[in-house]
Amino acid sequence: MIVEGAIVDADGPRAAYVRFQGERVAEVGKIGTDSTHGSERRIRGIVIPPPVNGHIHLGDAVSTREPPTGPLERLVKPPDGWKFTLLRSATASAKRRAIAAAVARMGREGIAAAIDFREEGEEGLRLLRRATRGSRVRIVALGRPLERPILPEEVERVLELSDGIGLSSAREESHGDRARIGTACKKARKLFGMHASENVREDPDVYLDPRPDLLVHLTEATDADLEQVARAGVTVAVCPRSNALFGRRPRLSALERIGVPTVLGTDNVMFHAPSIWRELEFAYVSNRLAGERVSPEFLVRAACVTPWNLLGEPEQARVQADGPSRPIVVRLPPDDPAYQLVGRATEHLIVRPASAKGGKGPG
């Protein structure tokens, strides 16, 4: 199958054709120069690296009702917030089914990976692994030790089961515990992340010591804070729909202007469907509404490029012949492709090259 239209990847948007053999890219080039001379099926569309959900709480999927109103901390603060009461009351089988359904939805939407902040300690990680066994969506699981002050042996066991550790907030952890967790993650060559400046502004000197790989939200961060984060080379995950539910908005324009590496996530599944396409559209439209435009290219990078850099796999973010990436195709007009993706993409427009039918002529 040949896709004629545009590519949007780590090298930016551009007109091109992409020839697929199964899921792999066999050729990339200027439209009209492919080697098949019309002998393979052609469709119009946009080819992108497989998206990554840069921040999600999959365990929350067990809740399907409207969340209660009230302060954010009353809903999600451990250990006695509404969310944690919900998790304790739900059965393991109910949580497994809910997680599996949420991951299946991400798979249908073309998501290749998701970075999950998994609560409930070691057992929470085991449950997550059982629920997602066999899925095409790669789950990057950031676990969370339960005991405070931390127990080194528990941290070690959590790291054995996970891809790193994701903490609730720097404000809720002592410097000593953060330092020990950060050191353990670095030694194990695994990710270290935490939420920061979500509800109130926090001092970057606190949440950057020790240096995390990933910070989530920073909705209350100032320009000076974001500049300090950028200098530290730390990636920030933003979740516009979840923030909006509590009257907040990530500072996307500032993140783009200052040059902070940014990834896009859908946050708590109890609040919103884990759809990157909905997140992209809301992020763009809500910023236009607020009079603070963010470029479509920045948002597409946050979904399809920067997450792969965070995961140490930058080649996954390039559409190239014989590369490791397995791109997806979105059947949208290739004019102004980044805008098409943030404004019009849905799961129904995704074409999976490996399952596309053969034949000559345009699609």
User: What local confidence, expressed as pLDDT, does residue 72 receive?
Assistant: 77
- CA atoms within 13 A of residue 151's CA, in its CB half-sphere: 9
User: What local confidence, expressed as pLDDT, does residue 355 receive?
Assistant: 62
User: What local confidence, expressed as pLDDT, does residue 254 receive?
Assistant: 98
Residue with token string 């950057």? 208
Residue 136 in tokens: 């095409």
As a whole number of angstroms, the distance between CA 178 and CA 118 comes to: 17
User: What local confidence, expressed as pLDDT, does residue 191 receive?
Assistant: 98
Q: Residue 339, exposed/middle/buried by CB under 10 A (0-12, 13-18, 19+)?
A: middle
Question: Please, what are the domains in the chain?
Answer: 2-49+318-355 (2.30.40.10), 52-314 (3.20.20.140)
As averages over each run of 10 residues, the pLDDT of the chain (363 residues) reads 97 98 95 90 96 97 85 80 87 97 97 97 98 97 96 98 96 95 98 96 97 98 98 98 94 98 97 96 97 97 98 98 96 97 96 63 42
Q: Residue 188, exposed/middle/buried by CB under 10 A (0-12, 13-18, 19+)?
A: middle
- CA atoms within 13 A of residue 180's CA, in its CB half-sphere: 14
Whole-model pTM over 0.75: yes
102 close to 274: Cβ distance less than 8 angstroms? yes
